[in-house]
Structure 1
Amino acid sequence: MALSSEEVDKLLNFFFDETNESQTFEHFLSQVSQCFPKAYNYKVGVCVYNLLYHNIITMPSQRILALTLLNEMYRGEPFVNNPFGSFIVGLCQSDSSRKNHVPPNLKISDSEKYFLSHLLVSSQVKEMLKKTPCFIIKTEFGPMADISHVQRLVEEKLDDRFVISRNHISCLVPEPATSTSVEDYEELRAAAKEILSNPSPPAMQTYKPGPIRLVPPLAVGDENMLWLELDEVKNHDFAYDYTMCMPNSNCIEAKKLINKALKGTLSLQQQQHLLSELEKDPKLVYHIDLTPAKLPDLVENNPLIAIEVLLKLMRSTHITEYFSVLVNMEMSLHSMEVVNRLTTTVDLPTEFVHLYISNCISTCETIKDRYMQNRLVRLVCVFLQSLIRNKIINVQELFIEVQAFCIEFSRIREAAALFRLLKQLELGTSDTCNVTVPRSKVMNVSW
């Protein structure tokens, strides 16, 4: 019943190919028919229907191509035999007169309605298919064609079905989007294949309420309750607020900036704008799709943003996952900067700080490049002196490990200074404020 993952991918290629905006509908239909034989019409149609229903294709040009494909795949047969006929007709209607089989979040423009309605009843279909999606979207047309006859035929066809056979809804609830722009097509493509490909596509699974009722009695007395017959129940509407959890413009803008921050350094203006939005709405940080797995990219490209995000996530139930990723990521100047700032701002769990220090020491010991090793050792030594001076760590708990590290790299000035500090602490004679470097120098060791 469903397309395979590879077939879904092929179908998505047609819709995500931007050149199809300027190609004729005829050319697009020809491409699809060459890739999928006629026997696949229903499978392709179900997939296209779900792409529309679940907001996977949202651009007007993609949408008009999809709707044209649903209609033209069954050209030559009576329209009532088109399994997607009621869906197509429903989209041409006004919002107030739509039926349940058209999701409230799926709306088409007047230009799309004009083209689609004429496609249903016009005798000049071949001429219409020589137009391009770009032309249809940008052109202002007159009123829609009269499709009342087609609509009546579709409704008569639906009336033949039992009411209880139509009380299903999709298990996936579409979320309204305030923008049709897509940041990551590969991520969207992966999601589409996940919910649409076989063997049991989630997008095609439905929810049907099962009424709980007693076994009917063999004989009905006058004093017994009346038996409720399901085929007499006409209202199977589901109550759902489609505006619930609808993202606002600030959330969308913050998501875009976070996605950019994961891939490269933000400009000063972009950083200030993102930090300002996070400051205005403390809960915004939970809606920007920054998972623990993405944290290392943010730390390396925009450490200041990473610091502020982590500070706002401190009350999250998943904060330990973020800490775990942070302390186990590859050692770098930026990761040290983030950890150092966090330790001086909030109380980090001791075990995380100790684990990070151990990982840093291990990295210095295993790196082969002598030049890079020296630089990393300098960073770690200055970092440790800062933690000791600010009394963030109890050096006695790591004394043996840190002392061995200092001895191994005693040729490096910062390691020797750290070793002297350890000895002074051991003897109880150190004034850490005098023997350590200023805090401002902690992250000034250049690569």
Structure 2
Amino acid sequence: MDKITSACFDLTSYQTDYLRPIPIIFNSDFQWDDNMAINNVQWNYSLEVNHDKVSQVREIIQNTCTTEISDEEQKILFNYLQNEKDLLKNCGFTCQRLPSIIEKNKEIAHFLLISICHFDGFEEYLDVFIQSDITQNSLELFAQLFGELKLPLEYITQYINYCIEYCNNIKEKQQQNKLVRYVSIFIQHMLKQKAFALKDVLTNLQAFCIEFSKVGEVSKLFKLVKAQEATTL
């Protein structure tokens, strides 16, 4: 037993040599560029917006598509969007919703369009007028926008021609005559305001007046066209 306890074992003699490959050393010339350009940086406006207000405004905007909102809701909407412009970018107002809002809440549509008229992409909202149904509300709103914004002459001319074409394509006679009256009044107003060059729509306008000559307002439009045509000769 004494021999066993006094024995001295040299464990180092049992160590195993592990073979490791020699690492490859690369010479790197990488340098930090503190002036590195970062493209397409966009600020997340939602970071600065009160999310309770966003939810409330979005709900009201959604309601404007289906029903006439209350005076209280309108007051809340105007107050929030007038005082916090960042909310406009998050309120849920889209091109797809514009036609419904025009029909249910024309004043809201007018307010929203005027509020975003300087935003990038505003032209897409104007395009809605020449892609959707022509109604009394849409005609009145277009006339309002013309009085407040500098709409391109080409765009106004395109809209006049679109109105004429739209009337021609209505199948139901009573509905057609009703809209023809609205369009005639609208074109008379735009003519008196010199909103477009008569020569650019003269052919279509004359054909429109002949086609719907039995509608009362059309005869007034025809007389106005003839009077203005005479002054331009």
TM-score band, normalised by the shorter chain? Answer: 0.7 to 0.9
Partner of 1:128: none
Change (3 A) 1:338 1:388: same
Instruction: For 1:279 and 1:247, locate their aligned partners in 2 and report how far apart those are by CA, in whole Å.
Output: 14
Partner of 2:65, secondary structure, is: helix
Per-residue CA deviations over 1:374-420 (Å, capped at 9, x if unaligned) read 11010000000111112222222111111111111111111010000
User: Matches of residues 2-401 of structure 1 in structure 2 within 5 Å?
Assistant: 218=24, 245=47, 247-248=49-50, 249-401=52-204
Per-residue CA deviations over 1:34-70 (Å, capped at 9, x if unaligned) read xxxxxxxxxxxxxxxxxxxxxxxxxxxxxxxxxxxxx
Using structure 1 for the length normalisation, give the TM-score.
Answer: 0.41
Instruction: For 2:24 and 2:167, locate their aligned partners in 1 and report how far apart those are by CA, in whole Å.
Output: 83
Instruction: For 1:255 and 1:411, locate their aligned partners in 2 and report how far apart those are by CA, in whole Å.
Output: 46
Query: Residue 214 of structure 2 is aligned with which of 384, 407, 411?
Result: 411
User: How far is 1:354 from its partner?
Assistant: 2.0
Q: Is the 8 A contact 2:95 2:125 kept in 1?
A: yes
Q: Is the 8 A contact 1:361 1:405 kept in 2?
A: yes
Q: Is the 8 A contact 2:156 2:195 kept in 1?
A: no
Which protein shows a greater Rg? 2
AA paired with 2:129?
Answer: L
Q: Is the 8 A contact 1:327 1:352 kept in 2?
A: no
AA paired with 1:386?
Answer: H
Change (3 A) 1:244 1:425: closer
User: How far is 1:292 from its partner?
Assistant: 1.3
Instruction: For 1:219 and 1:381, locate their aligned partners in 2 and report how far apart those are by CA, in whole Å.
Output: 84
Instruction: For 2:158 and 2:87, locate their aligned partners in 1 and report how far apart those are by CA, in whole Å.
Output: 30
Change (3 A) 1:253 1:218: same
User: How far is 1:273 from its partner?
Assistant: 2.3
Instruction: For 2:102 and 2:117, locate their aligned partners in 1 and report how far apart those are by CA, in whole Å.
Output: 16
What percentage of aligned pairs have identical amino acids? 29
Per-residue CA deviations over 1:163-191 (Å, capped at 9, x if unaligned) read xxxxxxxxxxxxxxxxxxxxxxxxxxxxx
AA paired with 2:24?
Answer: L
Instruction: For 1:389 and 1:397, locate their aligned partners in 2 and report how far apart those are by CA, in whole Å.
Output: 15
Change (3 A) 1:219 1:351: closer
Using structure 2 for the length normalisation, give the TM-score.
Answer: 0.76
User: How far is 1:340 from its partner?
Assistant: 1.2
Q: Is the 8 A contact 1:403 1:419 kept in 2?
A: yes
Instruction: For 1:283 and 1:308, locate their aligned partners in 2 and report how far apart those are by CA, in whole Å.
Output: 15
Partner of 1:292, secondary structure, is: coil
Instruction: For 1:282 and 1:422, locate their aligned partners in 2 and report how far apart those are by CA, in whole Å.
Output: 43
Query: Residue 228 of structure 2 is aligned with which of 425, 429, 437?
Result: 425
User: How far is 1:369 from its partner?
Assistant: 1.4
User: How far is 1:270 from its partner?
Assistant: 1.7
Change (3 A) 1:358 1:371: same
Instruction: For 1:342 and 1:371, locate their aligned partners in 2 and report how far apart those are by CA, in whole Å.
Output: 29
Change (3 A) 1:244 1:353: closer
Q: Is the 8 A contact 2:58 2:92 kept in 1?
A: yes
User: How far is 1:244 from its partner?
Assistant: 6.8
Change (3 A) 1:297 1:244: closer
Per-residue CA deviations over 1:6-47 (Å, capped at 9, x if unaligned) read xxxxxxxxxxxxxxxxxxxxxxxxxxxxxxxxxxxxxxxxxx
Instruction: For 1:247 and 1:278, locate their aligned partners in 2 and report how far apart those are by CA, in whole Å.
Output: 11
